[in-house]
Structure 1
Amino acid sequence: MKNRREFLLKSTLGAAGLALAPAWLQGAPNLIKSLKKPNSLINGVQIGCITYSFRSLPDQSAEATLKYVKECGISAIELMGDPAESFAGMPASPINRMRMWQLGGKVRRGESLSEEDSKELAELQKEADAYSKIVAEWRSKASMKPFEELRKMYQQAGVEIYAFKPAAFGQNNSDAEISYGMRAAKALGASHVTLEHPSDDAHTMRLGQLGEKNKMNVAYHGHEQQTFDFWDTALLQSKRNTLNLDMGHYIAAGHTDLIALIEKQHDRILSMHTKDRQTPANGKGNVVWGSGDTPIGEVLKLMQKNRYKFPATIELEYEVPENSNPIQEVQKCLEFCRKSLA
């Protein structure tokens, strides 16, 4: 009884003391709760990261991906499809994707394949087609609850998901698969889905219409095919069609009007991939930030000055040094942003 009375007395005094304490002290529990959470909102500019940046790390689960993001100090992300869909129970792929990418790369570059390589690529493609059917069937029945759970797990860790990029929006995907991807994005808390621009006006029209139906924005990513008017047709087709601009690829394509493009399209840009690439005259290299020709700092300052709300998404594509790893390199990119926005 004595111990109980002492506990009640201390609790009452503590509550009374807290009620009379300054406002900042009353908020201490919330401050303590958020101490270990990442924060990459820098002086009004949201710096994010696409989880593709961690592709070389062995564990690609949703839990491991969250760990990588937190270690980098990133508080907002563009989430690739695999971590989320595997978390939601999608059947694992039996395909050696790295090998398929290597052989496909030779074909894309116009290199001839040996008879053995041609047979291997054909077999891999056959496996991929079969797997696509399995995935389509799974997606047609997939519950959104696991995606909602993943969203909560990330939010509790201080990480918001602003974009989702599953391989569900291609010309060969059914309307049901595309709608599934958009509903999953909504369950994850994303404002938009991202995909490579298909260079197909009929398909951007289709995606825009499905975006309207599912109340989800579609942001088209571009590589070196980006031009000042690259997105114009898609933007006219639907209010749901938007930009996922890539500043590095734009510079590597030889363009000099990046700032003008951002100023023109800022209200239709939902996220912007940020990397440092060289101009064609300097080799088009994908290089360590600050050593290329992409005006990253100038763009970040523009975003800060004009209060643009879209995130600058770190995309780690330069070769990671032998004595480093993707997490350390993303941390360096984030620090580059901090110094640019100081």
Structure 2
Amino acid sequence: MKPKNLNRRKFLGSAALASAGLLLPTHSLFAGPAIIKNWKKPNSKINGVQIGVITYSFRSMPDQSAEATLKYVVDSGVSAIELMGDPAESFAGRPENPVDRRTYYGLRRSKRDGQLTEDQEKELADLEAQSKSYAKQVAEWRKNMSLEDFIKLRKMYNDAGVTIYAFKPNAFKQNHTDAEIDWGMKAAKMLGANHVTVEHPSDDAHTARLGKFAKQNKIYMAYHGHEQQTPTFWDTALQQSDYNALNLDIGHYVAAGNDQPLQIIKDKHAHIKSMHMKDRQVPANSKGNLVWGNGDTPLKEALQLMKTKKYKFPGTIELEYEIPEGSNAVTEVQKCLAFCEKALG
């Protein structure tokens, strides 16, 4: 059964598309004629290098629906994405999350950086308890929902000129059931993705489990890393399954203190399915996450390497630096894309 707010969600989504110039009011949302024929579709494949964006980059924007997210992507000039689970599942009618995600993820980042106060620790614990309860509700919903909704979502994005190369639902952790893991991979294929992404669990038994499901579904499981990344970080997972792969984060790799960050790309390129891009500093410079071109991450050189070597994996813009006052996520992603265009020109 669809939730009560579905009609309102569809109305808001249609309004977002109409304001973006992506929807004609006299046609169905998913019908071919609904797309304005002379609409200029984005193209962020630059001299053979596909530049994408993870939709997490737009987390600060007011509307997190799939339709509004599509508008942000198109307005940014990006034609390929790593799609987070929330907008996709909300589109398909998932029950609303009672947890304030912005607060929750902010507290989690602060905890990771060792910056939580005692009161914040309590607040995070309460939010985590709410999240566990909600996770059970979502698991039940996933059992009964129709994956056909993801085909509709894929068509809407593709019609607007945006392809989905990766999917990142919250479905691949140790506490998720086999059914949920299988669901996440099947959903990704419906969306047109060739890989799913997940934070590396640092658990060899679990990467073996995920690799098994990836092989069964013929879709790659690409592991993302933060400052725990090293040149050998993915080796065990890669040995466990031909369908285990890398979602390298070159910015976090630099902040972790690894020297020769371009070497990991050269050494592991055959296993990299997508690479997150951000400009972080080395430990000696406080590991800051800065506007592109101001940190220590060799983003320009990495992009040029991808171009020269004709690597096929996309470079994924992940907007994590502080958005300047008066700007917004769409404007900043545009700036990151401009950086890529200049580097690859």
TM-score w.r.t. length of structure 2: 0.86
Deviation at 1:339, TM superposition (A): 0.6
> Quick one: which of 29, 46, 51 aligns to 1:47?
51
| Equivalent residue number for residue 245 of structure 1 | 248
CA separation in 2, counterparts of 1:232 and 1:83? Answer: 32
Q: How does 1:140-289 map to 2 (within 5 A)?
A: 140-289=143-292
| Equivalent residue number for residue 298 of structure 1 | 301
Q: Would the alpha carbon gap of residues 260 and 341 (structure 1) be closer, same or farther in structure 2, given more than 3 Å must change?
A: same
Deviation at 1:268, TM superposition (A): 0.5
Deviation at 1:257, TM superposition (A): 2.1
CA separation in 1, counterparts of 2:122 and 2:321? Answer: 32
Q: Would the alpha carbon gap of residues 223 and 105 (structure 1) be closer, same or farther in structure 2, given more than 3 Å must change?
A: closer
Uncovered stretches (5+) of structure 1, i.e. residues with no partner:
1-31
Say how many residue pairs are matched: 309
Q: Would the alpha carbon gap of residues 253 and 130 (structure 1) be closer, same or farther in structure 2, given more than 3 Å must change?
A: same
> Quick one: which of 45, 70, 77 aligns to 2:74?
70
> Quick one: which of 311, 315, 329 aligns to 2:314?
311
1:228-267 CA distance string (max 9 Å, x none)? 0100000000001000000000111111122111111111
CA separation in 1, counterparts of 2:176 and 2:146? Answer: 19
| Equivalent residue number for residue 329 of structure 2 | 326
Q: Which amino acid aligns with 1:263?
A: K
- CA contact 1:106–1:113 (8 Å) conserved in 2: no
- CA contact 1:106–1:112 (8 Å) conserved in 2: no
Deviation at 1:286, TM superposition (A): 0.4
Q: Which amino acid aligns with 2:95?
A: P
Q: Would the alpha carbon gap of residues 112 and 45 (structure 1) be closer, same or farther in structure 2, given more than 3 Å must change?
A: closer
SS of the equivalent of 2:118 reads coil
Deviation at 1:100, TM superposition (A): 3.7
CA separation in 2, counterparts of 1:329 and 1:184? Answer: 30
SS of the equivalent of 1:172 reads coil
- CA contact 2:281–2:296 (8 Å) conserved in 1: yes
CA separation in 2, counterparts of 1:110 and 1:271? Answer: 30
| Equivalent residue number for residue 9 of structure 2 | none
Q: Which amino acid aligns with 1:253?
A: A
SS of the equivalent of 1:95 reads coil
| Equivalent residue number for residue 41 of structure 2 | 37
Q: Would the alpha carbon gap of residues 335 and 133 (structure 1) be closer, same or farther in structure 2, given more than 3 Å must change?
A: same
> Quick one: which of 126, 132, 137 aligns to 1:134?
137
Greater gyration radius: 1
CA separation in 2, counterparts of 1:69 and 1:334? Answer: 11
Q: Would the alpha carbon gap of residues 229 and 74 (structure 1) be closer, same or farther in structure 2, given more than 3 Å must change?
A: same
CA separation in 1, counterparts of 2:292 and 2:115? Answer: 31
1:93-122 CA distance string (max 9 Å, x none)? 1122344445556655275524xx666544
Q: Which amino acid aligns with 2:54?
A: I
CA RMSD of aligned residues (A): 1.7
SS of the equivalent of 1:74 reads coil
Deviation at 1:323, TM superposition (A): 1.8
Deviation at 1:216, TM superposition (A): 1.4
Deviation at 1:123, TM superposition (A): 3.9
SS of the equivalent of 1:266 reads helix
CA separation in 2, counterparts of 1:106 and 1:214? Answer: 36
- CA contact 2:194–2:219 (8 Å) conserved in 1: yes
CA separation in 2, counterparts of 1:247 and 1:102? Answer: 22
Q: Would the alpha carbon gap of residues 324 and 214 (structure 1) be closer, same or farther in structure 2, given more than 3 Å must change?
A: same
Deviation at 1:207, TM superposition (A): 0.1
Q: Would the alpha carbon gap of residues 100 and 292 (structure 1) be closer, same or farther in structure 2, given more than 3 Å must change?
A: closer
- CA contact 2:107–2:116 (8 Å) conserved in 1: no
SS of the equivalent of 2:287 reads coil
Q: How does 1:58-137 map to 2 (within 5 A)?
A: 58-101=62-105, 104=108, 109=114, 111=116, 113-114=118-119, 120-137=123-140
